[in-house]
């Protein structure tokens, strides 16, 4: 859909009474010619059919050689070309009516110039009739000012004071106001660039209500939880119209085939600087571990972060305080928080799939929400802990799993290790060594623990597309033989866990 730009409606000349319409036209006439005098005869009530009469200034050449010729006649300085202006505040003037108006002119003493101004638009036939009749009467110059011509003249900067006087509209003031807005937008954008940097990651800013006087004592505000007067957000990007702020981030689920999603707001994943002031974050970490354990045991392809971002426009930023003040010693942005969406001008929600350094954003507008996360999360459960070597995981996967968090699966042949269950833990030994103080400088290896999050059967033909055949060859190398397309393998997904979570000492 095309965007509708801001415009002004048509000027309603017909709303003016006849005398005010005549006053308007007379104001426009002043700049039309170099006049010696302009007479508003229509105001007298006895105008002989003439609303405005004007005389052009007569240019009289002066010759010093003629100063002694007293008998030489010279034109009177007030005898310039005469113009007559007729004003008709009528909704319609057809060719017949135009001819009737011109017929009122004295055929024996026609003016030099003639203007007919009306509060309506003229047809081509009216223009033609106007020209023909005036030429017949011997008028040398003539103008037909309809509604369109009057609007054009009023929109010129030199006539802006007339537009404002009669209709209360000032286009020059609007342009100046827009210029002021643009300067504020550019000033705010450039200041943010200097304060936050040109490349944003996750930079904290505090959005503050410009009308609030209680910061930072939120206990003084009874409805603070419902309508907070200040709020920390993470600036993530610059938009052409404003600053993009991340306002929510939760553990999420997304199914791209079924176009379904879900998330849990039981724990926020926003790493806010204001939270660093809290003395005890143990409760937050404990709750996160419980919820993340449930999330980790979803299929890797469905795990995502649910993210909500909002746009704070540059022109809505009243003041930018680059220093801030305790307890939020970072950039404060003062705004007017009134409105349906508070200080923000729209926003968007998406599922973020994180695959290494790259991430994919999935627009959720066409997705439906299906409940995946429970209202109450069960405590983490640890299954059987298999010692090193008990499960046939290839050494390369074991090594990469410790170095790269994106290595989250390995494959087994059908029938191999059928005893393995979800939540079981596989112990693998790192090839790297760590130094143990207090043991005579002895260097020991540290075990790694991989907890099984998903076990599923997959056909080889369904694993990789044609362009990923090199990955199939790598899998065959790790399993030690060639694989047929219809062969079924066992996919084991896992996450790395730690000894303290499963009751183990990391050093053995």
pLDDT digits (tens, 9 = 90+) for 344-376: 988 999 999 987 667 899 999 999 999 999 999
Q: Do the domain assignments include residue 5?
A: no
| pLDDT grade for 176, boundaries at 50, 70 and 90 | low
Q: Do the domain assignments include residue 24?
A: yes
**In terms of domains, do 165 and 185 share one?**
no
pLDDT of 52 above 80: yes
Q: How many CB atoms lie within 10 A of CB 177?
A: 11
CATH number at residue 153: 3.40.1350.10
**In terms of domains, do 206 and 165 share one?**
no
pLDDT digit string, tens, across residues 190-248: 999 999 998 888 899 999 999 999 999 989 999 898 889 999 999 999 999 999 999 99
Distance in Å from the first CA to the final CA of the chain: 67
**In terms of domains, do 155 and 200 share one?**
no
Q: Do the domain assignments include residue 330?
A: yes
**In terms of domains, do 30 and 122 share one?**
yes
Q: Do the domain assignments include residue 307?
A: yes
Structure tokens at 150: 């009057």
**In terms of domains, do 339 and 412 share one?**
no
Q: How many CB atoms lie within 10 A of CB 176?
A: 11
**In terms of domains, do 231 and 351 share one?**
yes
**Contact yes or no for 426/317 (Cβ under 8 A):** no
Q: Do the domain assignments include residue 491?
A: yes
**In terms of domains, do 228 and 364 share one?**
yes
Q: Tell me the average pLDDT across 430-441.
A: 50
Considering its fold, how many domains does the chain have in total?
Answer: 3
Q: Give the Cα separation of 32 and 26 in Å (integer).
A: 10
**In terms of domains, do 165 and 186 share one?**
no
Q: Do the domain assignments include residue 193?
A: yes
**In terms of domains, do 267 and 195 share one?**
yes
**Contact yes or no for 394/410 (Cβ under 8 A):** yes
Residue 161 structural domain: 13-58+76-169
Rg (CA), the chain: 42
Query: Which one has a higher pLDDT value, 19 or 432?
Result: 19
Q: Do the domain assignments include residue 358?
A: yes
Q: How many CB atoms lie within 10 A of CB 426?
A: 26
pLDDT digit string, tens, across residues 102-133: 999 988 889 999 999 999 999 999 999 999 99
The residue from 113, 140, 169 where one domain ends is: 169
**In terms of domains, do 291 and 409 share one?**
no
The residue from 142, 169, 196 where one domain ends is: 169
> Whats the size of the chain, residue-wise?
508
Q: Do the domain assignments include residue 34?
A: yes
């Amino acid at each position: 859909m095309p965007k509708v730009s801001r415009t002004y409606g048509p000027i309603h000349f017909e709303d003016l009474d006849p005398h005010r319409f005549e006053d308007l036209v007379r104001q426009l006439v002043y700049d039309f010619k170099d006049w010696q005098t302009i007479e508003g005869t229509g105001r007298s009530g006895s105008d002989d059919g003439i609303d405005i009469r004007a005389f052009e200034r007569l240019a009289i050449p002066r010759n010093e050689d003629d100063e002694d010729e007293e008998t030489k006649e010279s034109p009177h300085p007030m005898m310039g070309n005469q113009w007559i202006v007729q004003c008709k505040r009528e909704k319609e003037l057809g060719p017949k009516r135009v001819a009737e108006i011109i017929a009122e002119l004295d055929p024996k003493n026609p003016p030099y110039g003639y203007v007919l101004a009306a509060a309506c638009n003229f047809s081509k036939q009216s223009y033609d009739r106007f020209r023909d009749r005036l030429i017949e009467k011997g008028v040398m110059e003539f103008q037909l000012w309809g509604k369109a011509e009057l609007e054009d003249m009023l929109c010129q900067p030199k006539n802006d004071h007339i537009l404002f006087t009669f209709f209360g509209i000032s286009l020059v003031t609007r342009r100046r106001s827009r210029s002021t807005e643009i300067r504020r937008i550019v000033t705010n954008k450039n200041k943010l660039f200097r304060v936050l940097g040109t490349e944003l990651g996750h930079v904290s800013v505090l959005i503050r209500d410009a009308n609030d006087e209680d910061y930072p004592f939120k206990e003084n505000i009874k409805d603070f939880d419902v309508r907070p007067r200040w709020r920390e957000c993470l600036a993530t990007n610059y938009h052409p119209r404003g600053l993009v702020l991340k306002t929510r981030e939760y553990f999420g689920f997304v199914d791209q085939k079924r176009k379904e999603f879900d998330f849990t707001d039981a724990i926020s994943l926003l790493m806010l600087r204001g939270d660093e002031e809290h003395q005890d974050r143990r409760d937050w970490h404990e709750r996160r571990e419980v919820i993340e354990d449930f999330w980790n045991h979803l299929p890797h392809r469905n795990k995502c972060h649910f993210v909500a971002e909002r746009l704070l426009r540059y022109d809505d930023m009243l003041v930018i305080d680059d220093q801030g003040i305790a307890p939020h010693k970072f950039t404060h942005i003062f705004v007017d928080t009134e409105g349906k969406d508070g200080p923000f001008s729209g926003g968007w929600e998406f599922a973020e799939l994180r695959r290494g350094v790259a991430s994919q954003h999935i627009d959720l507008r066409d997705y439906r929400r299906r409940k995946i996360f429970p209202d109450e999360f069960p405590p983490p459960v640890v299954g059987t802990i298999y010692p090193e070597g008990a499960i046939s995981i290839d050494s390369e996967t074991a090594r990469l799993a410790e170095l790269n968090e994106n290595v989250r699966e390995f494959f087994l042949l059908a029938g191999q290790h059928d005893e393995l269950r979800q939540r079981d833990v596989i112990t693998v030994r790192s090839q790297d060594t760590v130094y143990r103080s207090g043991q005579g400088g002895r260097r020991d290896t540290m075990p790694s623990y991989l907890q099984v999050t998903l076990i599923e059967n997959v056909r080889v033909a369904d694993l990789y597309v044609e362009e990923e055949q090199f990955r199939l060859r790598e899998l065959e190398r790790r399993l030690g033989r060639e694989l047929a397309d219809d062969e079924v393998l066992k996919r084991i997904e896992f996450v790395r866990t730690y000894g303290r979570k499963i009751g183990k000492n990391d050093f053995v």
